[in-house]
């Protein structure tokens, strides 16, 4: 028996939407961001406690070999920048349509896998230029400060520039995966 409130047009719209979601998730799944010639360390973080453990290893390391266009300090400062922007607002945002469709799909897919994949040399849209002269210890401290600021913040979070509105728990996961994605290719010894 058919539902009189469910029209053929609605059926077609929902079928197309499911097709787009499925194909988008497949495309996002196949994206790779591995820098050429750099081996992945297999890092996966789902919370800030796991991030802090890795930051201690970085502080104790004798050598740090970066990848791409940023030095290790800039990578850490970029991660701190993202955390601060989740509180005060990102300088530039994707459209609400993007955030509520492709952005939500990307976040859902990353969350499902427990791992993010994105352009590791891309700055946050509209963000301040990352200083290259900051020491490793100072950049680690800045990232720890950002994490502490986030953890102690009880207000409303700004929408993520790509994923849109996130809860505090979702934001912590997004930030932890973002940091893992960047640090995954930084070799420490």
Q: Are the C-beta atoms of residues 41 and 184 closer than 8 Å to each other?
A: yes
Sign (positive/negative) of CA torsion 120, 62, 146, 131? negative
Q: What is the pLDDT of residue 9?
A: 56
Domain segments of the chain: what residues?
43-188
Nearest to 175 by CA among 128, 132, 109, 111: 111
The b-or-e profile of 97-115 (16+ CB within 10 A means b, else e) is ebbebbbbbbbebbbeeeb
Category of 153 on φ-ψ map: left (φ > 0), alpha (ψ -120 to 50) or beta: beta
Written as tens digits, the pLDDT of the chain (189 aa) is 555 555 665 555 545 454 454 444 444 443 456 777 788 899 999 999 999 999 999 999 989 988 899 999 999 999 999 999 999 999 999 999 999 999 999 999 999 999 999 999 999 999 999 999 999 999 999 999 999 999 999 999 999 999 999 999 999 999 999 999 999 999 998
């Amino acid at each position: 028996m058919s539902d009189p409130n469910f029209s053929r047009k609605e059926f077609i719209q929902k079928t197309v939407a499911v097709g787009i979601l499925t194909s988008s998730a497949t495309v996002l799944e196949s994206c790779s961001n591995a820098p050429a010639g750099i081996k992945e360390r297999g890092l996966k973080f789902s919370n800030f406690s796991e991030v802090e453990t890795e930051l201690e290893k970085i502080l104790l390391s004798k050598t740090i070999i970066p990848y791409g266009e940023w030095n290790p300090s800039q990578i850490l400062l970029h991660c701190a920048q993202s955390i601060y922007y989740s509180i005060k607002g990102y300088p530039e945002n994707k459209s609400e349509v993007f955030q509520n469709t492709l952005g939500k799909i990307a976040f859902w897919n990353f969350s499902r896998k427990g791992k993010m994949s994105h352009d590791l040399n891309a700055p946050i849209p509209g963000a301040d230029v990352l200083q290259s002269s900051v020491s490793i210890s100072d950049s680690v401290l800045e990232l720890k400060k950002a994490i502490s600021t986030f953890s102690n913040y009880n207000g409303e979070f700004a929408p993520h520039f790509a994923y849109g509105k996130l809860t505090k728990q979702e934001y912590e996961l997004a930030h932890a995966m973002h940091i893992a994605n960047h640090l995954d290719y930084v070799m420490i010894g």
